[in-house]
Amino acid sequence: MSEFKIRKYAVVGAGNMGSGIAQKIASEGHRVTLLDVSPEQVEKGLAGIAATLEAGVERRIFRPGQPGEIIQRITGTTSYADVADADLVIEAVFEDLEVKKRVFSSLGEACRPGAILATNTSSFCVGELVESCPNPERILGLHYFYPPAMNRLVEVVGHKGTSNVALEAAWTAQEAIGKTPIRSADTPGFVVNRYFVPWLNEAVRMLEDGIADIPSIDAAARKFFGIGMGPFHLMNVTGVPIAFHAAKSLGESLHPFYSPAETLRKQVEEVGEPWTLEGDPDPATFENVFARLLGVVSHVATELVGEEVATVEDCDIGARVGLRWTKGPFQLINDVGLSAARDAAEISVGPHGLDLPPLLRDSAPKGIPIRLVSQTMRGNLASVKIERPDAMNALNPEVASQLVSAVADARATERPIAISGSGKTFIAGADIKFFVDHLRSNSFPEIQAFTQHGHELLDSLSGQEEAVVARVHGLSLGGGSELALACDWIAASPKASFGFPETGIGIYPGLGGTQRLPRRVGLPLAKWLIFTGQSVGASLALEMGLCDEVADFENLDSACASLAERGSLEHRIAPQSPNSEAFASLWEFFEQNSVEKILSGEADTMGGDKREKAAKKMRQKSANALFQAERLLNEGEALSLGKALALELRDLEEVFSHPDALEGLAALIEGRRPHFQEPATAP
């Protein structure tokens, strides 16, 4: 769907940022060329990557042997001729405009006109580079956040001449390397640094004003923003001069309010040392500290939206993903209330002669709307996208409600619909905390209502006038896989995976999984997937009939459009034999053996590795959940889909009232192994 096809990557600059970007690209399975001015710089960058990867093995991020595989995908060079065939080149040299211009001039000479050229600048506007090389429509910004190999956020920035197809291709490429992209206009600071740098600067101003000392400011920030390091600690880690120069740049470009505090200037130009963090915090100062920090963030974030630099949602995603705040600026504003946020902004920003942005000044007391689900057009398809990347797009009542509205808006376009998720995950099931909170407060009706509404939404997806396609680009678990099953078609990327882990947390798939899955893959394989919680990758899912097409990232939208052209499906007929001989053994095992026989050890695995593994996995699950899932699967086989789906709602209270449900769900949140009740005879 784009004239830009990104298969070959290149990075210019082998320093901390450039090598980290190259490492991330290679870690996600893509080949990348890393270019710098000297062999020594290239080797230093590659050595840094190797050391980081080996440290990842020790932390169990990578398996032994994987670092070598990743390094082999990175080619070091000092010649621009070696990036001539790249589809996307990312400039990541140090922040010197003239140096960056020379890099872009060299790229303009070396690269073909169809290559996208991106800058990782954080100090300059993208438009300042467009005169350095031809074809400015393919020039854009990709601003990664430190450390780029781990931090998933990237800002995608187009200057006024960047083509939409180049932006879309670059966006898709970021998804392909596991990044969470947000969109920004080409303005100083882009999105996140526009409010994060003043947040740091305000911390220094409070120190200057005697509001609180460094330990208290850091402690208050950690408490209210839910972060591991306060502003002074963060500046020490990333470099105090970086904060100073960022504030200086924003102050020169925007308004003196953004200019560095005098104490920050002195710390860099006169003291030349990191901040002293030692001391005991004073909790009595915390509220005033939070108010000042909130005031700055409230002002700048609402200003960004008013200037159409970013959306409300992208501002919040940027904070949660890039800065690891537990809440974004607009969620913070809504939580404290518009009146309190206005008062805080007046205190923080008013003395600098700035008026409140209209969005902050004029919004209704109920708060500023935040979309968790977006509805846009993506080519010929109406796109419905869940925008909770930091929560793996987990479903909760608010998301479900917004999904209903977004699907209705998409239906109104009279176009086929593609449902997708933001970030690295499609949908990682339902929000577990929602269930735990209501079980502990003995309020099951809320769980029943949420599940009922979920059924109504999923029932409305397939079999309509326009087809609905699930665009599964990454991890899909539980309710996410059930939502995909409820669509007419499923298109998957090679990195997609499908799983139904519910029996391992004491419940059964309750959004149609026990009934739609057998109609996709056959009853025996549905039992295998649900009883064991086994996840399957895209290729296996295609082989067994769990998805309809697998396409690379750059072709995933085309695959969705192609599937949509087949029209919608009234119903599916369950296969009576496996689609592939590879699943014959498992099919036979689950066709012939009940849960009770498998758990008791009576089922003959015939020494088969797949069968042995399945039986072992089942013994780690909740026996109660297994028995209930088996009953639903067996009862629903002979019924119409509508009547079969009603069985899940019928038995919902029974499964959630069993002790295994709270134990399994709570254990997942607490990061421990659940202790289920001993297996009993099947009810």
CATH number at residue 97: 3.40.50.720
Does 456 share its domain with 539?
Answer: yes
Predicted local distance difference test score (pLDDT) of residue 2: 47
Predicted local distance difference test score (pLDDT) of residue 36: 98
CATH number at residue 228: 1.10.1040.50
Predicted local distance difference test score (pLDDT) of residue 379: 87
Backbone φ and ψ of 443, nearest 5°:
-120, 65
Residues present in the chain in total? 683
Tell me whether residue 679 is in a domain.
no
Contact indicator for 168, 15 with CB cutoff of 8 Å: no
Does 123 share its domain with 220?
Answer: no
Contact indicator for 222, 290 with CB cutoff of 8 Å: no
| pTM of the model as a whole | 0.92
Backbone φ and ψ of 243, nearest 5°:
-60, -40
Does 171 share its domain with 221?
Answer: no
CATH number at residue 596: 3.90.226.10
Does 474 share its domain with 593?
Answer: yes
Does 176 share its domain with 196?
Answer: no
Does 354 share its domain with 211?
Answer: yes
Per-block mean pLDDT, blocks of 10 residues, the chain (683 long): 79 98 97 98 98 95 95 98 98 97 98 97 96 95 97 98 96 95 98 99 98 99 98 97 97 97 98 98 98 98 98 98 98 97 97 97 94 94 96 95 97 98 95 96 96 97 96 97 98 98 98 98 98 98 98 94 94 91 96 97 91 97 98 97 98 98 97 88 59
Per the rule left: phi > 0, alpha: psi between -120 and 50, beta: everything else, 601 is left
Tell me whether residue 1 is in a domain.
no
Predicted local distance difference test score (pLDDT) of residue 1: 39
Does 348 share its domain with 377?
Answer: no
Does 119 share its domain with 246?
Answer: no
Tell me whether residue 499 is in a domain.
yes
The residue from 137, 160, 185 where one domain ends is: 185
Contact indicator for 137, 42 with CB cutoff of 8 Å: no
Q: How far apart are CA 204 and CA 180, in angstroms?
A: 30
Rounded to the nearest angstrom, the gap between the alpha carbon of residue 196 and the centroid of all alpha carbons in its chain is 20
Tell me whether residue 352 is in a domain.
yes
Does 424 share its domain with 319?
Answer: no
DSSP letter string, 317-330: HIIIIIS--SS-HH
Boundaries of domain holding 386: 373-670
> 3-state DSSP call for residue 381?
strand
As a whole number, the mean pLDDT across the chain is 96
The residue from 319, 335, 362 where one domain ends is: 362
Residues near 683 by beta carbon (within 8 Å), at least 6 away in sequence: 627, 628, 631
Q: How far apart are CA 452 and CA 444, in angstroms?
A: 12
Cα angle, residue 629 at apex, residues 627 and 635 outer, rounded to 5°: 100
């013994």: which residue's tokens?
619
Contact indicator for 542, 521 with CB cutoff of 8 Å: no
CB atoms within 10 A of CB 166: 23
């079969």: which residue's tokens?
644
The total of structural domains in the chain comes to 3
Does 344 share its domain with 470?
Answer: no
Tell me whether residue 631 is in a domain.
yes
The single-letter code of the amino acid at 3 is: E
